[in-house]
Each structure stands twice: as C-alpha cells, then as structure tokens.
Structure 1
Amino acid sequence: MSGHSKWATIKHKKAATDQKRAKVFAKLIRQVEVAAREGGGDLDANPTLRTMFQKARDNSIPLDTIERAVKRGTGDLEGVVYEQITYEGYGPNGVGMLVEVLTDNRNRAAADVRNAFTKNGGSQAEPGAVSWQFDRKGVIIVPKSVAEDDLMLVALEAGAEDITDEESIWQVVTPATDLPDVRQALDDAGIDVESSEVTMLPQNTVPITEADKAKQTLRIVEALEDLDDVQAVYANFDMTADMMEAAAG
C-alpha cells in the first residue's frame, strides 16, 4: 500500500483554508468538465462523469457549480478545451511518480512540471518508465467507525476486490469501472464514505522510514500538486501516517 490514502486524508485537513479549498474546487470542476466533454452529460451513461460528480459533491462543491461544469463540457455553455497529459518522473529516494495534467497550454504545463521536479531533487522520466508500476483502480475510503464485517458484506458483494486496514481508515479497492456501483451499494446500505475516486495504485512500494527523506518526498509531491494544471500526483512511497503528518508540517 502506498501513502496515497493517508496523504489524501492529511491533504483534506490541510485544505481547510479558503485558498487551498478554492484550488481543490477549481481542479475538481475541470475534471467534471472534461469527463462530460469526453463521455456526455448523462450520469447513468457516463461512469467517469458519475465518479467525478460524486467526488465534487464529497468535497462540498455546490450542485449548480457542478451542473454548469457539465454544461460547459457538453457544449451547452462556452468553455475552455483542456488536453490530458501524463508526465512521469522520480522523486528523491527513487520514488516513482505519475503526474496527471489537464491544461489549455501544453508548453506551460510541461515547463511547470519539469521545474517542480528539478527544483525539488527529482527528475523527469521518459513515457512508460514509471507507469507500468501502477494499476488504475477505484478506491473508496471508509471511516474506522464502520464495522469491518458490515463493510465486507456489502463491498465484496457489490464487486470490490479488496479491503485493507490503513491505520485510521478502511480502504476499499475496486476495478476502476466498478467504482460507481460499489460506492452506490455502500450508500444504499447506509455506510459512511469519506471519499471515492479512480486512482493509480502502485504494484510495489518504496518504504520511507527517515524523517528527512519523508520531508523531501512530500515536498516534491506538494510542489507538483500546487501547480494549477496538475490534477493528481501518484507516487509509490510508503510511510506511516504519523511520519507523513509530521513531514507535511
């Protein structure tokens, strides 16, 4: 298990400031817009849009804001055309990283990502050098207040592949295409869900046990995530939640 889920939880706490929350909102709305452009505005016929719609709602984005993003994506309202690009690279300590970008300016995005890598002790890699180490999966985060037996009964029946104990949370892993159905089953059963998203999970992880290396790793992740065009950063590090929280400051 990578640090993805634990880091996502910590980021959510840090995003409480208005400025950080506004940046999270902007990125999620861009993802909704692109999903609608590529697969249409019907939630039932477009599972990617349904997942992004739910993720936006989980982050308390107003419904009318999400609906306007869908209309921009379908062409009912004027909007910007974004290009999807994935960059690959290595952070300090040999941690593999995938950087997903939605941009209206490929040159700007490429320069920003390259600078974030080089200025923080990382390096960009050729396409394919890192991506083979990751699998696209659905991930649902459930609070520990939910009984494991109750969670397993519903999630596995709905098509989940695995449920793991990640210190303060349960992590439910699904095939990417089955994420909306598993999430719906949990909702229908009255099981609390903190978040659900399609993500990239590493096949193997790089353990980080030293505080200085933890800070180096999270510094480059944060530098990449702070870029406006970057929608997600996936990395194959593993560290404890306590170390991560301390390193994140």
Structure 2
Amino acid sequence: MKRILIIEDDYAIAEIEKDFLVINGYEVVIVEDGKKGLENALSGKYDLILLDLMLPNMDGIEIIRRIRDQLNIPILMVTAKTEDIDKIKGLGLGADDYITKPFSPTELIARVKANLAQYERMLSGEPQLSIPKDIAYGRLRINTQSRRVYKDNEEIFIKNKEYELLYFLATNPETVFTREELYTRIWGLDAYGDSRTVSVHINRIREKIETDPSNPNHVQTVWGAGYRFQP
C-alpha cells in the first residue's frame, strides 16, 4: 500500500483529501505544521507528499528545498490560484507538479496516480534497448544508465522531471512537441494538469545546459507549435 503524507494546515481540506485517497487504496498521514511536516517527510516512510504552500512555522517552498536535498520522492504542491510565483519557485526547486484549489476528487486521484507511476518507472530502470548508454550532442552528454547529465564533462545537477523531459526531447531530435504532448508524456496526464508546468521545466533545463539560455542551441521554442531538441 502506497503511503502519502499530506502537509496541510486546513484540517477540513486535508480530511477531504485523505478520505478520497483512502477510498482509492492509499495509506494517508496528515500533518498541519510545516516543521513537523518536514520531519515526517524526511523519515523516508512515504511514497508521495501532498504539500500546501502556506503553512505555519515553515512554508512549503522551504520544505521543498530541504526535501530535495535528501529525497527524490514525488512532491505535489497544492496551491491557490493567486500563488503563481510560488508555483514557479516550487517547480524550480524540484516539486514535480501542482494542483490548484478548488479541485475535484477525480483530478486529485488522477494526479497522484500519474506522479506515482512516473516515479516507479524511474526507479524500475526499465531497459531501453534502442537507446545507447551515452547520448552526446556537442558539449552536452546524457548518461542514460546513471541518469546524469554533463556539460563540458562537468556534471549538471538536474532534477527528476527535468531529466525525463530532456531525455525525451534528446531521444526524439528535431521533432516538435506541443506543451500538452510533453505534459502527457512526462507527467502521464492528458485530461488534467496545467501545461505551463512544461514551460517552467524547459526554462530550468535551458539555464543548466545552454551557454545562452535566451538563445538556446538545443532546447528550442517553435513559436505557435511547441518545443524541439536541436542536435
């Protein structure tokens, strides 16, 4: 049984989330305090964290920062519509996805299942027989076995979703994908979600691999269409 940690100071909302998650077969723990939530998260006992951003004693952004120093488990932010800047900060620090209040139970369960499934695929290390161990384009190299990325032979710290997105684009060079297509492929959702998440991750990738992120050589925007990887 997958274990989910809900860090949420509005107990009514947390209980609603818990009820629907339990109905769908998950074991759920609720913590209402930011610092205690972080302590629970770092225990290693959970498969996914459902994290509110506005919390007492420690906000969600700081919790994401500290979790990502130690763990790679999926973090699904729960945000208000007015928290766009915090969404971008959270995604940049390594949160995997976000869901905006108010949301339907169907959307919540779909997002949780998709993020857990993607994480399990990453852990399983499914063999890619047609993909070489190293993918090299100029100064950029991707080691597909270790999931590490190098620029000029220096390792770049890259987070899970950033790696998945870069890997997918690099193994499909010169092919244009819409934001929606990339969201479906990387996050595993086609009916729910905000494809702006893709744009945030694309920008983060460019900051790490491109010499000039504003004029990228590899991860290019095709205006009105989407993104492509240029070898």
TM-score bracket for the superposition, by shorter chain length: under 0.3
Answer 1 or 2: which has greater helix percent. Answer: 1
